[in-house]
Structure 1
Amino acid sequence: MEQFSFFLEYDGRKTMTAANHPPIDQITALQIRQAVDKFCRKRGYKISNVESLDEGDYRAFLYKKALFKKDKELIFYIRQDSRQNTEV
């Protein structure tokens, strides 16, 4: 099982690019798709797209339904902690 860390990149208002921000959540799963599914169920998000980035990282495009407003788009950067723990 792998550990995936979720970092907020875009929430419709601001972009967070600092590398030292703590992760929003950490999910343990076998694959990236399972990790994103667990994260979405936990927070009430829907999956729009998940893309693979260089060096094994991922970016997830999610949205949250709003009753009387436009859906809120969120972009998360996802990193596997197995690779992160070896860097010092």
Structure 2
Amino acid sequence: MMTGMTCPHVPELPEAVTPDNPEGCADCLAADEHNWAHLRICLSCGHVACCDSSPRRHATAHFHASEHPVMRSFEPEEDWRWCYVDARIV
């Protein structure tokens, strides 16, 4: 059982990441799509992808392909993080 406000994956993250595409979901834009609800950024590599409320769910797809555990909201004024491995906000 985990205690505290974080998970074991957060301390393993780099101090900072650079968004691979600050304009939107990199995967959607590569396919010339612009239909996403909200954006997320992978805190391991900086990949920007769309959330599970979006048609393509690229953020979750990125987790399954990369096994990078933690993402953060890439929306203005939001800074919450989600750990896919532990299925919780951290």
Give the structure with the higher percent strand: 1
> Which structure's relative contact order is higher, taking Cα pairs within 8 Å and 6+ residues apart?
1
- Normalising by the residue count of structure 2, what TM-score does the alignment of the two structures yield? 0.29
- Normalising by the residue count of structure 1, what TM-score does the alignment of the two structures yield? 0.30
